Amino acid sequence: MDFQDYFPIWDKLNTAQQDRLRGSLFTRHVRKGTLIHSGSADCTGLLLIRSGQLRAYILSDTGREITIYRLFDRDICLLSASCMLRSIQFEITIEAEKDTELWVIPAEIYQGIMEESAAVSNYTNELMASRFSDVMWLMEQIMWKSLDKRVAAFLLEEAAIEETTVLNRTHESIANHLGSHREVITRMLRYFQKEGMVRLSRGTVELTNVPKLQQLCDE
Amino acid sequence: MDFQDYFPIWDKLNTAQQDRLRGSLFTRHVRKGTLIHSGSADCTGLLLIRSGQLRAYILSDTGREITIYRLFDRDICLLSASCMLRSIQFEITIEAEKDTELWVIPAEIYQGIMEESAAVSNYTNELMASRFSDVMWLMEQIMWKSLDKRVAAFLLEEAAIEETTVLNRTHESIANHLGSHREVITRMLRYFQKEGMVRLSRGTVELTNVPKLQQLCDE
């Protein structure tokens, strides 16, 4: 499988545009934990994920984090090329949550094609609208959902992604996903444990009653 | 002043596109308090504000609100035409905060032009990026700023917009802006009053110490 099989609008490019793209993109293999993009000073380019998992998050002045979206196989990360959009006025950080293979499309090449091609520009619009929707979903969660439901939803999401009920997650990393504090997450997880929904041990959270966690989310 | 003086990329349209736009748009005069757009079922079209003020907000199941952005003279509201973007998966409500004169561009006309014109599509990208940035700013406020600073910032913003330090605002409407509860806002404003920053009376909040409010925001 080649780049053109992964890039959804390859067929909408003309030959010259295909050549420019093919001639400028490159592949990267990054290890789990690698910081791929950091704030607006960094014009990394668009990232097309061949396999792996990325996390985009924002950082407070005091080092707190909250995940704003996650990307999986075949997803495209647009905001790592936010330098090409004047009106993007925020800074995100992107790290690999798993070993990841990806293609990098240099921002200035993509921008050049986007400026001449309505098809590419409209596709970019849809990409941005998807990420915008992710953030609006998150906003609704933060505003209207209590933290117990958000923790339960995160544990279930992780279990689905990892295909296991034994999660290798520190309380700190869960706090960083949800924009909370470690102490708060620890207290919540201990409450879940008392209720028989999880079993805690050093560095892992085991889901022992998935239906009950699901019920908590759905309430 | 005509539509073409307000629409920033008029000169980038060809004559046929200009004619289609001019032939389909219409003006609306809405009174303060009018609901202009309500959720995704409603494909109102793009709104270009000639004069006035709009507020875009989201609503919870239980009727709570939070303002996600506000629009003023010459601003364009894109999300009232979100039906034309498949990937927009959230619902916003738009109401007039003042008597407002605006042009409505029907969504299907704009979409047709956007699909054929890279210039229009790229402009739309920038519009969406602006609103996306507004929401990310708000997210950062909610996550990392305490409510006292957010209330102070809102009062100062209102005073700047209205060009007066006597705001005709109920505690309820402030709560709806900030995604909070009336009781919480009342308690906060009483604390501000005790600190000499505001004076409260029925239906109004008077800012009596702007520098102190500013200092609270900047801390």
pLDDT by residue, tens only, chain A of 219 residues: 799 999 999 999 999 999 999 999 999 999 999 999 998 777 889 999 999 999 999 999 888 999 999 999 999 999 999 989 989 989 999 999 999 999 999 999 999 999 999 999 999 999 999 999 999 999 999 999 999 999 999 999 999 999 999 999 999 999 999 999 999 999 999 999 999 999 999 889 999 999 999 999 988
For residue B140, what is the nearest residue in chain A, using CA coordinates? A60
Q: Do B58 and A140 touch (CB under 8 A)?
A: yes
Q: Which two tokens stand for residue A85?
A: 């959009």
Q: B43-63 burial, b if ≥16 CB within 10 A, otherwise e?
A: ebbbbbbbebbbbbbbbeeee
Tell me how far apart the alpha carbons of residues A35 and A55 are, in angstroms, rounded to a whole number.
10
Tell me how far apart the alpha carbons of residues A110 and A76 are, in angstroms, rounded to a whole number.
13
Q: Do B132 and A133 touch (CB under 8 A)?
A: no
* A-B C-beta contacts closer than 8 Å: 129
Chain A: nearest CA to B208, how far in angstroms? 31
Q: A202-218 burial, b if ≥16 CB within 10 A, otherwise e?
A: eeebebebeeebeebbe
pTM: 0.92
Q: How big is the CA angle at B2 (ends B1 and B3), to the nearest 5 degrees?
A: 135
Could you tell me where in chain B the CATH 2.60.120.10 domains are found? Answer: 3-143
Cα atoms found within 13 Å of the Cα of residue A196, Cβ hemisphere only: 3
The candidate with the shortest Cα–Cα distance to A75, out of A118, A126, A137, is A126
pLDDT attached to residue B1: 72
Taking the Cβ of residue B127 and every Cβ of chain A, the question of whether any pair is shorter than 8 Å is answered with: yes
Q: What is the dihedral of CA A112, A116, A121, A124, to 10 degrees?
A: -20
Q: What is the fold, at CATH topology level, of the domain defined by A145-218?
A: Arc Repressor Mutant, subunit A (1.10.10)
Q: Do B90 and A137 touch (CB under 8 A)?
A: yes
Taking the Cβ of residue B94 and every Cβ of chain A, the question of whether any pair is shorter than 8 Å is answered with: no
Residues 6+ apart with CB under 8 A from A12: A117, A119, A120, A123
Tell me how far apart the alpha carbons of residues A185 and B107 are, in angstroms, rounded to a whole number.
45
Residue B54: its H or E element: strand B54-59
Could you tell me where in chain A the CATH 2.60.120.10 domains are found? Answer: 3-140
Chain B: nearest CA to A118, how far in angstroms? 4
Nearest to B87 among A60, A88, A130 (CB): A130
pLDDT attached to residue A1: 72
pLDDT attached to residue B63: 87
Tell me how far apart the alpha carbons of residues A22 and B81 are, in angstroms, rounded to a whole number.
35
Tell me how far apart the alpha carbons of residues B138 and B66 are, in angstroms, rounded to a whole number.
10
Q: Which two tokens stand for residue A58?
A: 């924002």
Q: Do B128 and A130 touch (CB under 8 A)?
A: no
3-state secondary structure of B134: helix
Chain B: nearest CA to A14, how far in angstroms? 15
Tell me how far apart the alpha carbons of residues B144 and B135 are, in angstroms, rounded to a whole number.
14
Residue with tokens 């990232």: A47
Q: B104-134 burial, b if ≥16 CB within 10 A, otherwise e?
A: bbbbebbbbbbeebbbbbbbbbebbbbbbbb
Chain A: nearest CA to B69, how far in angstroms? 13
Could you tell me where in chain A the CATH 1.10.10.10 domains are found? Answer: 145-218
CB atoms within 10 A of CB A129: 22
Tell me how far apart the alpha carbons of residues B16 and B112 are, in angstroms, rounded to a whole number.
12
Q: Do B143 and A86 touch (CB under 8 A)?
A: no
Taking the Cβ of residue A66 and every Cβ of chain B, the question of whether any pair is shorter than 8 Å is answered with: yes
Q: Do A116 and B118 touch (CB under 8 A)?
A: yes
The amino acid sitting at B129 is A
Nearest to A143 among B66, B87, B126 (CB): B66
Q: Is A47 exposed, middle or buried, given 0-12, 13-18 or 19+ CB atoms closer than 10 A?
A: buried
The candidate with the shortest Cα–Cα distance to A111, out of A149, A85, A148, is A85
Contacting residues of A for B90, CB less than 8 Å apart: 132-133, 136-137, 140
Taking the Cβ of residue B124 and every Cβ of chain A, the question of whether any pair is shorter than 8 Å is answered with: yes
DSSP state of B177: H
CATH superfamily, domain B3-143, is: Jelly Rolls (2.60.120.10)
Taking the Cβ of residue A88 and every Cβ of chain B, the question of whether any pair is shorter than 8 Å is answered with: yes
Q: Which two tokens stand for residue B75?
A: 């601003």
Tell me how far apart the alpha carbons of residues B37 and B24 are, in angstroms, rounded to a whole number.
19
CA distances from A181 to A56, A87, A92, A186, B95 (A): 18, 31, 20, 9, 36
3-state secondary structure of B31: coil
Chain A: nearest CA to B218, how far in angstroms? 13
CATH architecture for the domain at A3-140? Sandwich (2.60)
Residue with tokens 């809405």: B30
ipTM score above 0.85:
yes
pLDDT lower than 50: segments of chain B: none
Q: Are A68 and A133 in contact (CB under 8 A)?
A: no
Q: Are A94 and A40 in contact (CB under 8 A)?
A: no
Nearest to A129 among B68, B128, B140 (CB): B128
Chain A: nearest CA to B100, how far in angstroms? 25
Tell me how far apart the alpha carbons of residues A118 and A109 are, in angstroms, rounded to a whole number.
15
